[in-house]
Amino acid sequence: MISDKKMTYLKENTDIVEVDYNNLPKHIAIVMDGNRRWAKNKGLAAKDGHKAGAENLEDLAKFCNDIGVKHLTVYAFSTENWSRTKNEVSALMLFLKAYLASFMKKGITENIRVNVIGKRDNLEKSLVKSIDEVVEKTKHCTGLTFNIAFNYGGRLEITNAVKRIAEKVKANEISIDEITEEIISSNMYTEEQPDPELFIRTSGELRTSGFLPWQLVYTELYFSEKYWPEFGKEELLLAIQEYQNRNRRFGE
């Protein structure tokens, strides 16, 4: 239960939408879509849209931590995004590196644990070093666990999990009969974290685009027409409000 002091803070800072702060989703997953279209509508370059999106992400990660969400996973860069222009890809890499440097300090101050999930072997060494540094520096934080899916593909994640399990079978660490859903989950990038209870995608697109396909099987889906840079605290609370109004039956 949220303390009276915490509830007073929430009422003072989040009274724009009525939600039950004792019934928040433990894990929220977000596809942050629409940066480029937001920028185009404003006559700006794509990199300006990504910059605005990164700033909004920082605000909402802090907000999630403030209100008591325990896990946040965002889709920042997919394995398919390499097909974008060289300039845009380079800008995204620079934004992530700058973002990680910023969160190195802010994560500790805000008690936010940063985790970067996805393929690393084709990233620049300096970027991998930045990822390792922020993960190491914030690993003891006990507030929000903030997963950034970068160079991520859902089928690739499942493929890698299968390979890890196969290696364990080959090494006689487990038998085929011992492979369960729990074993598979423990070999995913989000091991030891609950599956997302709420999935959000911005910009009006109505698909999951290969994001966390194993983890999203019972997740409530919410789609917003807002582009990511304009998806603020009020929009997030509206999504949480919708989640709280649903009857989650889990196949019953």
What CATH number does the domain containing 49 carry? 3.40.1180.10
Q: Is residue 9 part of a domain?
A: no
Q: Is residue 2 part of a domain?
A: no
pTM for the whole thing?
0.91
Q: Is residue 102 part of a domain?
A: yes
Whole-angstrom distance, CA of residue 77 vs CA of residue 183? 27
Q: Is residue 37 part of a domain?
A: yes
Q: Is residue 96 part of a domain?
A: yes
Q: Is residue 112 part of a domain?
A: yes
pLDDT in tens, 179-190: 999 999 999 999
Number of domains in the chain: 1
Q: Is residue 191 part of a domain?
A: no
Domain ranges, residue 70: 24-153+196-243
Q: Is residue 61 part of a domain?
A: yes
- In a 3-state reduction of DSSP, which class is residue 107? helix
- Mean pLDDT (whole number) for 150-156: 94
Q: How far is CA 38 from CA 42, 45, 53, 68, 82, in A?
A: 7, 10, 9, 29, 21
Residues serving a catalytic function are 33, 81
Which residues make Cβ contacts (< 8 Å) with residue 104, sequence separation at least 6?
A: 133, 134, 137, 138
pLDDT band at 161 (very low <50, low <70, confident <90, very high): very high
